[in-house]
Amino acid sequence: MVNEMTTRSPALPQLAPRDADSHKGDYGRVLLIGGSPGMAGSISLSASASIRSGAGLVTVAVPRRCLETVAGYDRCYMTVALPDDLKGFYELAASRVAQLSESATVLGCGPGMRTGVGAEGIVKTLCSQESDKPLVFDADALNCLSQCDDWKSMLAPRMILTPHPGEWERLSGVAASDRKAQEAAAVETGKATGATIVLKGSKTFVTDGKKSVHNSTGNPGMASGGSGDVLTGVLCGLLAQGLAVFEAAHLGVFVHGRAGDLAAESVGQISLSASDLLQHLPAAFMSLSDQ
């Protein structure tokens, strides 16, 4: 199945060393869009993870009702309020996202966003942009995509999709219980669209249809709410530093899992939280030079 369709696993990509006279502008401007009342923490985890993964500047665009909450979680990112209603983003939010995305170099969308008309408008707007800016879709951005009959035609090589098996079932129609068939569908989608699919799980599968890899890091302690939100931010941070799309996905899932393994050594699998992943990202990045 998958092995016959794909080439040998590529070597782990690396970030280039930083020039001594470089500045934050050299490390990219990430715009993350998501969150909603009751799920403000998700997009904050993503934004903090982008900072811990090396992005130069990170801005989080959230429903107005969440702004103070999200801003209070971390001093290191900036926040922007988008038009909202009681359920999350309001329809007018999409045009504001289009404006904001002009000054960003990497876009990430979905954690905690919910799936109303406003969220769907944002996803469609991001997909329709004539742009080669990398774009990561997670969680409710994927759920919005799955409500579009022609979702595959909306994908492009600049995009990374990070579904868990339930989200991939909604998109691809392939049952979450059939991992092999889900991986095969991910390869087919990569081939057809050029997008990179990160099918999450205990051995996360990364494919762009031409290259594929199974991740070797991570542990079941990471089966805890918010772990995937952290991955979204890690990927955006790596893309912001100039890694190509597939390479950012490959390195990102490895570092994310390594952070989980280091966190499990420190707090154990049972107590491991997404906040622990954030705290162990620095050691995970520092350990890469041993690879």
Ligand X SMILES: NC(=O)C1=CN([C@@H]2O[C@H](COP(=O)(O)OP(=O)(O)OC[C@H]3O[C@@H](n4cnc5c(N)ncnc54)[C@H](OP(=O)(O)O)[C@@H]3O)[C@@H](O)[C@H]2O)[C@@H](O)CC1
Ligand Y SMILES: Nc1ncnc2c1ncn2[C@@H]1O[C@H](COP(=O)(O)OP(=O)(O)O)[C@@H](O)[C@H]1O
233 is in an annotated binding site: no
The interface partner of residue 218, options being Mg ion, ligand X, ligand Y, none and the CB cut-off 5 to 8 Å by kind, is: ligand Y
Is 111 among the residues that bind ligand X (CB under 6 A)?
Answer: yes
CB of 168 to ligand X, least distance (A): 9
**Has 133 been labeled as part of a binding site?**
no
Closest approach of ligand Y to the CB of residue 163, in Å: 8
- Would you state the structure tokens that stand for residue 106, as one six-digit string? 């990497």
201 is in an annotated binding site: yes
Of 116 and 226, which has the nearer Cβ to ligand X?
226
Residue nearest to ligand X (CB): 166
> 190 touches which of ligand Y, Mg ion, ligand X, none (CB within 5 to 8 A by kind)?
none
Which residue, among 268, 182, 251, has the nearest Cα to 217 in the 3D structure? 251
CB of 138 to ligand Y, least distance (A): 7
Say whether 180 counts as a known binding-site residue: no
- CA 236 vs CA 116, 155, 166: distances in Å: 24, 17, 22
> Would you give the binding string for Mg ion spanning residues 124-163, x where CB under 5 A is met?
---------------x------------------------
203 is in an annotated binding site: yes
Stretch that binds ligand X, among 36-44, 98-106, 149-157, 190-198 (CB under 6 A): 36-44
Out of 164, 211, 256, 258, the residue judged to bind ligand X by CB under 6 A? 164
Q: Looking at 53-61, 80-88, 187-195, 220-228, which segment touches ligand X (CB under 6 A)?
A: 220-228
Residue number with CB closer to ligand Y (96 or 200): 200
Is 31 near Mg ion (CB under 5 A)? no
Q: Work out which of 63, 116, 201, 260 binds ligand X, going by CB under 6 A.
A: 201
Query: What's the token pair of residue 122?
Result: 């944002």
Task: Give a three-class secondary structure readout of the chain.
Answer: CHHHHCCCCCCCCCCCCCCCCCCHHHHCEEEEECCCCCCHHHHHHHHHHHHHCCCCEEEEEEEHHHHHHHHHHCCCCEEEEECEECCEECCCHHHHHHHHHHCCCEEEECCCCCCCHHHHHHHHHHHHCCCCCCEEECHHHHHHHHCCCCHHHHCCCCEEECCCHHHHHHHHCCCCCCHHHHHHHHHHHHHHHCCEEEECCCCCEEECCCCEEECCCCCHHHCCCCHHHHHHHHHHHHHHCCCCHHHHHHHHHHHHHHHHHHHHHHHHHHHCCHHHHHHHHHHHHHHHHHC
21 is in an annotated binding site: no
Give me the residues that bind Mg ion (CB under 5 A), please.
Answer: 139, 228
Give me the residues that bind ligand X (CB under 6 A), please.
Answer: 39, 41-42, 111-113, 139-140, 164-167, 176, 201, 225-226, 228-229
Annotated binding site for AMP: 200-204, 228
